[in-house]
Amino acid sequence: MNGAESLVATLVDQGVDICFANPGTSEMHFLAALENPRMRSVLCLFEGVATGAADGWYRMKDAPASTLLHLGPGLANGLANIHNARRASSGMVNIIGEHSTSHLKYDPPLTSDIEGLARPLSHWVRRADSAGAIAWDAAKAVAKASEHPGRIATLILPGDTSWQEAGAPVAAPRAAAVRKKPDAARIEHVARVLRSGEPALIILANKATRGAALEKAGRVAAATGARLGSQFFTARIERGAGRVPIERIPYAVPQAQAFLRGFKHIITVETREPVAFFSYPDKPSLLKSEGSVVHPLVEDDEDSALAFDMLLDALGAGSISPILQPRIETPVPTGALNPVSVAHALAAALPENCILVDESLTTGRESMGHTMGALPHDLINNMGGSIGYATPVATGAALACPDRRVFCMVGDGSAMYTIQSLWTQARENLNITTIIFANNSYAILKAEYANMGAGTPGARALSMIDIDRPRIDWLAMAKSMGVPATAVDSAEGFYKAMTDSAREPGPSLIEVRL
């Protein structure tokens, strides 16, 4: 067995059985090792698709995928979506090909400081230095990526370590990720705050917005009258009819301040106190009102479901039931497309148990409120704010959950960053409906221009914000990558295109002409 075979075998033994790859010459032995039938390999035509897909996989599986990237430049191309994954607490194992140690000293063209590129966005970086030790390194990488919260692990693979003889893999046994027990004194403190009856908001994030933790948070809210909120962006929320509803803190600073006004206490769970996305000349960075106090319930590595159990015990509220979101039937909208009719069409069309990946920016700004009572679904947001995350994340989510339809709502500007995802979706026949909101503009930047107090944009500034010269041909774009596409220009047309797409297996694209 050579080093590359040892690496792939170890990844699979440790539970990492998918690799989002974009290979080069230095990774040929790794490619050969991907013949291992236990590893699924998925070709991505840009590294940002590979790293975003690994993020999408983690969001749905709570387990890391691997990526294979070509030396420093391949890693650099993937960094923006590694940033987004890191901000979402998604774990991933990045394997970065590298020149052989003996070749590096001649400074061949693809030489770069891979550690230097990896380190700012990785929690763990290691250079494999022998084929025999690579299994150990790979097991360490998987263990790091699988921690709670998920971590970015980067393993650099020099060519010679991949082709030299490795012997039988020697790796640490697979270890289950441990979430620590929360501190009892802190739980008691939060219980006191909640018993005071003063207005409190519990902000849920990461793994507390789903499953048992969400249900228990709902019971705490029912017992105490506290409200449940989320940041504007959350890694994954289980929402819709029958789920514990969570209110979303708005994006715009004045609206966020208005929402938070009146809460004497903010209790944070797997997140920090709400901050504005950007600093504006005349607006604050922190969004809470003066005099309100922030109380973290858990540390990042602690178990929030357990924290809510302890809190329910402390409150003597063990038997109380949460208040659940009722189903709201939304009639199919007709007429012009705008954020409200788009939201109504979504609420009417979303099938039960679908996954909604949201990078819809201005067009989707009404969608969350109107889909509260839709059939139950999962919602995924862009935690790092680096646009171009949605189509790759949808790709990874669809591979992780082949029985569920993924709806990927994306602005036309954002879609252009990583549109190559469509090709992978067609090749792998993934059940993804990509919804392109074609307003031919970076519309949000027009609003931000005003928010910043930069005055009225001149012709040159506007030409940096409009993307309509030339107009992007979405139908041709989709067709070129093997994805069937349709364009709609009415709310009823949008609804019909969504429901049609959910009936057909495989990917499709809807251009929503705004």
- Using CB under 6 A as the criterion, which residues of the chain lie in contact with ligand TPP when the complex forms? 80, 361-363, 385-387, 411-414, 439, 441-445
Looking at beta carbons only, is 120 or 197 nearer to ligand TPP?
A: 120
Q: How far is the CB of 391 from ligand TPP (least distance, A)?
A: 11
Q: How far is the CB of 363 from ligand TPP (least distance, A)?
A: 5
Residue 325 vs residues 87, 181, 218: alpha-carbon distances, Å:
28, 30, 11
b/e burial code for range 2-27 (CB count within 10 A of at least 16 → b): bbbbbbbbbbbbbebbbbbbbbeebb
Q: How far is the CB of 474 from ligand TPP (least distance, A)?
A: 12
Q: How far is the CB of 412 from ligand TPP (least distance, A)?
A: 5
Could you tell me the two tokens for 426? 């067609």
b/e burial code for range 294-317 (CB count within 10 A of at least 16 → b): ebbbbeeebbbbbbbbbbbebbeb
Q: How far is the CB of 278 from ligand TPP (least distance, A)?
A: 10
Looking at beta carbons only, is 177 or 276 nearer to ligand TPP?
A: 276
Could you tell me the two tokens for 167? 């012997």
Single-letter amino acid code for the residue at 48: G
Looking at beta carbons only, is 8 or 80 nearer to ligand TPP?
A: 80
Q: How far is the CB of 504 from ligand TPP (least distance, A)?
A: 26
* Contact yes or no for 478/422 (Cβ under 8 A): yes
Q: Which residue is nearest to ligand TPP (CB)?
A: 411
CA distance 410 to 427: 21
DSSP codes, 446-501: HHHHHHTT--S--HHHHHTTB--SSPP-HHHHHHHTT--EEEE-SHHHHHHHHHHH
Q: How far is the CB of 211 from ligand TPP (least distance, A)?
A: 30
CA distance 193 to 196: 5
Task: Report, in this order, helix, strand and coil percent for the chain, each rounded to 5.
Answer: 40, 20, 40
Q: How far is the CB of 453 from ligand TPP (least distance, A)?
A: 18
Looking at beta carbons only, is 66 or 414 nearer to ligand TPP?
A: 414
* Contact yes or no for 51/153 (Cβ under 8 A): no
Looking at beta carbons only, is 302 or 412 nearer to ligand TPP?
A: 412
Q: How far is the CB of 460 from ligand TPP (least distance, A)?
A: 16
For 164-241, strand residue ranges (E) read 200-204, 227-230, 237-239
Looking at beta carbons only, is 43 or 465 nearer to ligand TPP?
A: 465
Q: How far is the CB of 205 from ligand TPP (least distance, A)?
A: 20
Single-letter amino acid code for the residue at 217: A
Looking at beta carbons only, is 35 or 468 nearer to ligand TPP?
A: 468
b/e burial code for range 88-111 (CB count within 10 A of at least 16 → b): bbbbbbbbbbbbeeeeeeeeeeee
Looking at beta carbons only, is 108 or 278 nearer to ligand TPP?
A: 278
Q: How many CB atoms lie within 10 A of CB 364?
A: 21
* Contact yes or no for 409/358 (Cβ under 8 A): yes
Residue 400 vs residues 53, 213, 406: alpha-carbon distances, Å:
10, 22, 11
Q: How far is the CB of 410 from ligand TPP (least distance, A)?
A: 7
Looking at beta carbons only, is 80 or 208 nearer to ligand TPP?
A: 80
Closest CA to 158 of 90, 121, 110, 191: 110
Looking at beta carbons only, is 419 or 443 nearer to ligand TPP?
A: 443
CA distance 385 to 395: 18
Looking at beta carbons only, is 72 or 413 nearer to ligand TPP?
A: 413
* Contact yes or no for 249/232 (Cβ under 8 A): yes
